[in-house]
Amino acid sequence: MIPRKKELKLIKIYMYVCDLYNSKLKYYCQRYSNNSEPAFTDQEIMTIYLFAGYYQKNFQIKDIHMSVSEYLSSWFPRLPSYQTFNIRLNRLSEASRVLSQRLTSSLIPEDCLLDISQVDSYPIVTCTGRNRKGKVVAEITSKGFCSTKNQYYYGMKLHALAFRRQGTITFPESFVFTPASDNDLTVFKQVWGDNISHRIIFGDKIYSDFDYFNSDKTQRQNIEILTPVKAVKGQSDQQKQRNKAYNGLFSTAVSKVIQPIESFFNWLNERTTIQRAQRVRSTRGLLVHTMGKIALAFIHLFNLFNTDSHYLI
């Protein structure tokens, strides 16, 4: 048994998932077999995942299944075994991606500065250690280095382009996941370089590429990048001292603007443990882990399923 207030929230999540499933999600997880309409539905599985992550703070699939079997058996009497539940959930990886994209695009706050963006990346770790070999989900993971923690790891990177908001954490406009070895600047050029315009973008030193951002193409798009000052190879000590005060003040100012997106990543990990993916054993499982956590984060950010709130479809 659960309190009446949580029961109402569970119902609201189920209604939201059913509405979105019938209008969009079903096209990303359709079955073409004799078991195309299972007794335990995809809508119930997604509801369980969102409810357990948001209200019960259960993020591991085994903990989610155990919690539901013990406390929500009257709501989900046909709950399958843990192994079947895990397989069914992993098959919804593409639906989880669409769900997270839907929440991102439909809930943009009014205080976002649409002409000022921040860009950064965050590690998703499946295995740590400089000399270890990541053998799990090798097709979408690789070896990378996290400069913040000064450690090597295997896994993915979560890249985010976000709108700046005054006095609070940033709001992500777009997400992309890549293997950990992919260069942040290269990902920016490939994913966002042709799709944004009339924008001032703040990033760390890795996004510093004067040739690219001063090219005719970016000038036509009216894109300007501001990063902390990067040391110039071969510059004399006299030139370094001459520009030290200006470079220091400018770098500090840019770093302060970047800080909210770093705070967003830290907040995201605190709310969903998205960085810790060491227990994931399959590609679909890793996609559910990442996309599902993004959806949970937006539910947290907007208290989307409070009993007095109105969700968007």
Residue 201 CB neighbour total at 10 angstroms: 20
Per-residue pLDDT tens for 236-279?
Answer: 777 778 778 888 899 999 999 999 999 999 999 999 999 999 88
Per-residue pLDDT tens for 131-142?
Answer: 566 677 888 999
Closest of 107, 171, 67, 116 to residue 312, by C-alpha: 107
Residue 120: strand pairing partners: 160
Q: Measured between alpha carbons, how far is 225 from 217 in angstroms, rounded to an integer?
A: 14
Assess whether pLDDT exceeds 60 at residue 184.
Answer: yes
Query: 186 is written with which tokens?
Result: 């290269």
Per-residue pLDDT tens for 145-168?
Answer: 988 888 889 999 999 999 999 888
SS3 content of the chain, % helix, strand, coil (to 5): 45, 20, 35
pLDDT category at 307 given cuts 50, 70, 90 is: very low
Instruction: Output b/e per residue, 108-140; b: 16+ Cβ within 10 A.
Output: eeeebeeebbbbbbbbbbbbbeeeeebebbeee
Enter the pTM of the model: 0.88
Q: Measured between alpha carbons, how far is 20 from 102 in angstroms, rounded to an integer?
A: 9
Q: Measured between alpha carbons, how far is 220 from 251 in angstroms, rounded to an integer?
A: 26
